[in-house]
Chain A
Amino acid sequence: DVKVTQSSRYLVKRTGEKVFLECVQDMDHENMFWYRQDPGLGLRLIYFSYDVKMKEKGDIPEGYSVSREKKERFSLILESASTNQTSMYLCASSLSGEVEAFFGQGTRLTVV
């Protein structure tokens, strides 16, 4: 069973804080993704990575950065959290060339 694990289910942070969201997968997948999920907006891709140290911007990268130092771990960084970044964040991974993406359980981030 593929496991994609996000380090926190719930996070509350203050405006201006630097926030790290961690994601680990155990199936040696090349591709990893960060989405945010908002009611009425669906899933929007923030960043993705198709290899270690490689990253590409998704549709809404502003205010975010990512790090992929090891194949199994993909971190999402909010450099200076703002209230409009309050959302559910979903991490996913997939094998290169494979169609199915496996998702983590999500991190609900609230910025106050």
Chain B
Amino acid sequence: AQRVTQPEKLLSVFKGAPVELKCNYSYSGSPELFWYVQYSRQRLQLLLRHISRESIKGFTADLNKGETSFHLKKPFAQEEDSAMYYCALRGTGFQKLVFGTGTRLLVSP
């Protein structure tokens, strides 16, 4: 079975502080992992995917197969990072995404 766990419902930090949003997954094969973000009153959109190993808006995420984790990190949070973040998994050969329960990031000035 495919499962994504985001243990934190809310993460509150001050501007300039480091941020780590946790994501753990359960899947027996080789998954593809993603982070999606939803800013206030905007539609859900892709932030980054593990296969591209890129940094988007200062965020990075490394797939750790040993720990089955895909945590999202940013060294210095900005107020505009406040949003709902969802970790998602796609299994090999599958077309559908399985989402975690989401973490709301609140960055205060």
Question: Which residues from chain A sit less than 8 Å from chain B, CB to CB?
Answer: 4, 31, 33, 35, 40-45, 48, 50, 58, 90, 92, 94, 96, 99-106
CB <8 Å contact, A45 and B49: no
Given the known inter-chain contacts A99-B51, A101-B46, please indicate yes or no for A40 contacting B95, CB distance below 8 A. no
Name the distance in Å between A91's Cβ and chain B's nearest Cβ. Answer: 10
Given the known inter-chain contacts A40-B9, A99-B51, A99-B90, please indicate yes or no for A45 contacting B32, CB distance below 8 A. no
Name the distance in Å between A103's Cβ and chain B's nearest Cβ. Answer: 4
| Interchain CA distance A104-B99 in the complex, whole Å | 16
| Interchain CA distance A31-B43 in the complex, whole Å | 18
Q: List 26 A-B contacts (CB under 8 A).
A: A4-B43, A31-B95, A31-B96, A33-B96, A33-B97, A40-B101, A41-B101, A42-B6, A42-B86, A42-B99, A43-B86, A44-B99, A45-B96, A45-B98, A48-B96, A50-B95, A99-B34, A99-B49, A99-B51, A99-B90, A100-B46, A100-B49, A101-B46, A101-B97, A102-B45, A103-B44
Indicate which residue in B43, B51, B98 contacts A103 across the interface (CB closer than 8 Å).
Answer: B43
CB <8 Å contact, A105 and B95: no
| Nearest CB in chain A to that of B101: its residue | A42
Chain B interfacial residues counted at CB < 8 A: 20
Contacts of A90 in B (CB 8 A): 44
Contacts of A33 in B (CB 8 A): 96-97
Contacts of B44 in A (CB 8 A): 43, 90, 92, 103
Interface string of B72-109 (1 = CB under 8 A from A): 00000000000000100010000111111110000000
Contacts of A40 in B (CB 8 A): 9, 101
> Apart from A42-B86, A106-B43, what 6 extra A-B contacts exist at CB < 8 Å?
A33-B96, A40-B9, A42-B99, A44-B99, A50-B95, A101-B46
CB <8 Å contact, B95 and A96: yes
